[in-house]
Amino acid sequence: MKENEWKNAVVYQIYPKSFNDTNGDGIGDLPGIIDKLDYLKDLGIDIIWLSPFFPSPMADNGYDISDYQGIEPSFGTMEDMDRLLEEADRRDIRIVIDLVLNHTSDEHDWFKESSASLDNPKRDWYIWRSGDENGEPPNNWRSNFGGSAWEWDERTNQYYLHVFDKKQPDLNWENKEMRQAVYQMIHWWMEKAVAGFRVDAITYIKKNKEFPSFEADGSDGMVTIDKGSLNQPGIKKHLQELKEKGFRHDEVFTVAEAPGVPADEIEDYIGEHGFFTMLFEFDHVDLDLTASAKWYEMKEWTVHDFKKPLFDSQRRLQEGWSALYIENHDQPRSLSRFIQEGFRHTHSAKMLAAVYFLMKGTPYIYQGQEIGMTNVEYPDISSYNDAVSRHQYDYALANGCSEEEALAFIWKRSRDNTRTPMQWDASHQGGFTEGSPWLETNSNYPEVNVETVKAAPDSLYTFYQKLIAFRKHAKAAPIIEKGAFQALLEEDDHIVAYKRTYEDQEITLYANFTAERVPVSFDEESRQAIVSNNDGLGPESAWMEPYDFVIFSNVDYEW
């Protein structure tokens, strides 16, 4: 993909398990994606990011891969994949796949060999250590999915390291042969004509070689593994090699999931000589988490917590480029997350869309976001599939929360909030499956579904279509692509506002990010409002109603 191609693109993320089931087994599949390509074309997107579809025991819904070069049987076959690539290409849609390089499944052949004996040639492909003098884990690192990051393996009487689930052993990036095998796998997919890669959890691949214990940050005596495994010194050598030997060409599109990159190092990661095309940053979505990321300690957030990291990132970018998003398969639904109860309607959903779409970067839409899907509230923890949710629930109970309290945090934060089946129409299970879905459908599907939303006047779906068309239009595209970014009303406690300027043209956005009616004074006398979610808003307006937004511009554009 050439630079001008991804800069003008909009990406749509598909979580295959929950997108569309064609054979009634309750699990989304590749033929189901093919069936919806026309829908995606109609929406106006250019690139599909496919979450993992490789063979997997599904301990982490596909992020635990047991064969990098195959297809999970419940999702389909390699022929289905080839057909998907072909059919997408026919519609001028590119496919970007997920590369999970920090770990494999414990059921991957590599790990089976590695764990077989101390002298197996692949022993060193993973991270093995003996216990301490009492036979306890080598250090006090807590895995991201809860409990010790070390799992005892009695075949060889050693522990292996896992940053995530115990079924996701970490690959040892210090091993050259392992790296070589990973690069070959990447080349294989490139030959299959995938257009690029979303690179999973990549800032975890380098570990602190001493594997020291650190001061505990929880009642379990453990410490977040980020301390010894996130963005550690020396990681850049690996990333540079991944770029040169793995991706090889500059034209491979790569978007890295890269928590923990310090602001002043972003330049090394992206931009002309960076390791990746663009990065997902986290601060604007993790605004309700404390450093230890325990959900039961969730904190209140303000408009500043949302806008400051985004604005800082936009300013920092200068020549770089960003991955813009408000939802994905790890985050709650944006409507439920950012909008107060009672206001979660098309009106506020349009504001959320407008707020991030005009920044410098490539916007991502997560499946269902375009129709305003919301969080789910299962009445019991047993309905949850997400490993993190189950761990966070136990953790909350162990730290004194009642079951009701613990569940309330799961409702807010669970990754299952965005993993419920896609809602296509008002029929059985929202049209996702003819059978019973692997994860309960959100009960609001009779109202919130593609068919119903599309048929409504001024729908959210249509708004996304128009936003996409606007970004790409010859009049707006240069401003979005090259325009300088200037934050407006930065100190304001309610309004998110910014201006993009290119030559003598500009686009300005004002959004009331709160449920309050607030006074405002637009500095836009000579400009016209090209679109808003409140027809009464114009350059002279003195108030914004809850969740209003307006876009001003001096380009002559017919919305």
Which active-site residues does the annotation give?
A: 200, 257
According to DSSP, residue 295 is labeled G
**With CB cut-offs between 5 and 8 Å by kind, which of ligand GLC, Ca ion, none does residue 226 bind?**
none
CB of 83 to Ca ion, least distance (A): 15
**With CB cut-offs between 5 and 8 Å by kind, which of ligand GLC, Ca ion, none does residue 25 bind?**
Ca ion
Find all residues with CB under 8 Å of 435, minimum gap 6, and list them: 21, 24, 25, 26, 429
Interatomic CA distance for residues 258 and 236, integer angstroms: 12
Interatomic CA distance for residues 382 and 394, integer angstroms: 12
DSSP sequence for 245-292: III-STT-EEEEE-TT--GGGHHHHSSTTSSSSEEE--TTTSTT--TT
Q: Is 220 in the site for Ca ion (CB under 5 A)?
A: no
3-state secondary structure of 508: strand
The site that binds Ca ion (CB under 5 A) totals a number of residues, namely: 5
Query: Do 231 and 263 touch, CB atoms closer than 8 A?
Result: no
Binding mask of the shown chain, residues 181 to 210, with x at each position contacting ligand GLC by CB under 6 A: -------------------xx---------
**With CB cut-offs between 5 and 8 Å by kind, which of ligand GLC, Ca ion, none does residue 200 bind?**
ligand GLC
Q: Is 77 in the site for Ca ion (CB under 5 A)?
A: no
Between residues 43 and 163, which has the closer beta carbon with respect to ligand GLC?
Answer: 163
Structure tokens at 21: 């089931």
**With CB cut-offs between 5 and 8 Å by kind, which of ligand GLC, Ca ion, none does residue 217 bind?**
none
Interatomic CA distance for residues 169 and 160, integer angstroms: 7
- 382 C-beta neighbours (distance < 10 Å), count: 7
Between residues 23 and 120, which has the closer beta carbon with respect to Ca ion?
Answer: 23
Between residues 171 and 537, which has the closer beta carbon with respect to ligand GLC?
Answer: 171
CB of 51 to ligand GLC, least distance (A): 8
Binding residues among 54-73 for ligand GLC as defined by CB under 6 A: 60, 63
Query: Do 201 and 237 touch, CB atoms closer than 8 A?
Result: no
Between residues 260 and 435, which has the closer beta carbon with respect to ligand GLC?
Answer: 260
Amino acid at 15: Y
Query: Do 12 and 40 touch, CB atoms closer than 8 A?
Result: yes
Binding residues among 401-460 for ligand GLC as defined by CB under 6 A: none
> Within 13 Å and on the Cβ side, how many CA atoms surround 513?
25
Strand stretches in 227-347, DSSP E: 253-257, 278-280, 323-324
Binding residues among 236-255 for Ca ion as defined by CB under 5 A: none
Binding mask of the shown chain, residues 125 to 164, with x at each position contacting ligand GLC by CB under 6 A: ---------------------------------------x
Q: Which residue is nearest to ligand GLC (CB)?
A: 63
Nearest to 208 by CA among 191, 183, 187, 225: 225
Q: Is 226 in the site for ligand GLC (CB under 6 A)?
A: no
Amino acid at 124: D
Strand stretches in 341-494, DSSP E: 362-366, 484-488
**With CB cut-offs between 5 and 8 Å by kind, which of ligand GLC, Ca ion, none does residue 100 bind?**
ligand GLC
φ, ψ (nearest 5 deg) of residue 335: -60, -45
Binding residues among 11-50 for Ca ion as defined by CB under 5 A: 21, 23, 25, 27, 29
Between residues 200 and 548, which has the closer beta carbon with respect to ligand GLC?
Answer: 200
Q: Is 100 in the site for ligand GLC (CB under 6 A)?
A: yes
Nearest to 129 by CA among 157, 95, 164: 157
Out of 257, 281, 506, 524, point to the residue binding ligand GLC (CB under 6 A).
257
**With CB cut-offs between 5 and 8 Å by kind, which of Ca ion, ligand GLC, none does residue 460 bind?**
none
Interatomic CA distance for residues 318 and 325, integer angstroms: 19
Residues in the chain: 559
In our burial notation (b when 16+ CB lie closer than 10 A, e otherwise), range 471-496 reads beeeebbebbbebebbbbbeebebbb
Between residues 80 and 257, which has the closer beta carbon with respect to ligand GLC?
Answer: 257
Give the residues across from 129 on adjacent strands: 159
Query: Do 441 and 430 touch, CB atoms closer than 8 A?
Result: yes
The site that binds ligand GLC (CB under 6 A) totals a number of residues, namely: 9
Interatomic CA distance for residues 27 and 121, integer angstroms: 37
CB of 25 to Ca ion, least distance (A): 4
Q: Is 35 in the site for ligand GLC (CB under 6 A)?
A: no
Q: Is 554 in the site for Ca ion (CB under 5 A)?
A: no
Between residues 23 and 486, which has the closer beta carbon with respect to Ca ion?
Answer: 23
Q: Is 522 in the site for ligand GLC (CB under 6 A)?
A: no
Between residues 231 and 534, which has the closer beta carbon with respect to ligand GLC?
Answer: 231
Q: Is 548 in the site for Ca ion (CB under 5 A)?
A: no
Q: Is 548 in the site for ligand GLC (CB under 6 A)?
A: no
Interatomic CA distance for residues 451 and 95, integer angstroms: 25
CB of 60 to ligand GLC, least distance (A): 5
CB of 65 to ligand GLC, least distance (A): 9
Q: Which residue is nearest to Ca ion (CB)?
A: 29
Binding mask of the shown chain, residues 315 to 344, with x at each position contacting ligand GLC by CB under 6 A: --------------xx--------------
DSSP sequence for 9-54: --EEEE-GGGT--SSSSSS--HHHHHHTHHHHHHHT--EEEEPP-S
Between residues 15 and 296, which has the closer beta carbon with respect to ligand GLC?
Answer: 15
Interatomic CA distance for residues 304 and 295, integer angstroms: 21
Residues that bind ligand GLC (CB under 6 A): 60, 63, 100, 164, 200-201, 257, 329-330
Binding interface with Ca ion (CB under 5 A): 21, 23, 25, 27, 29
